Amino acid sequence: MAVGKGQYVWAFNLQGATDMFRSYLGTEFWDLLRHPPRGTTINLVRAERSDRWDGESMQELAAAAKASEHDGGRDGGVTKELILESAGHWVHTDNPKGLVNLMAPSLAELS
In which element (H, E) is residue 71 found? none
The reply to whether 50 falls in a domain is yes
Between the ranges 29-33, 69-73, 79-83, 89-93, where is the mean pLDDT highest? Answer: 89-93
Q: For position 64, what pLDDT does the model report?
A: 82
The reply to whether 76 falls in a domain is yes
Report which of 97, 88, 94, 101 is spatially closest to residue 47, judged by C-alpha positions: 88
The CA distance from 36 to 31, in Å, is 8
Q: Which domain range does residue 50 map to? A: 28-110
The reply to whether 18 falls in a domain is no
The pLDDT of residue 2 is above 70: no
- For residue 36, the 8-state DSSP code is P
The reply to whether 93 falls in a domain is yes
Looking at every residue in the chain, the average pLDDT score rounds to 85
Going by pLDDT thresholds of 50, 70 and 90, the confidence category of residue 101 is: very high
Asked whether the CA dihedral 71, 111, 83, 55 is positive or negative, the reply is negative
Number of domains the chain contains? 1
Q: Tell me the pTM.
A: 0.66
The pLDDT of residue 1 is above 60: no
The reply to whether 47 falls in a domain is yes
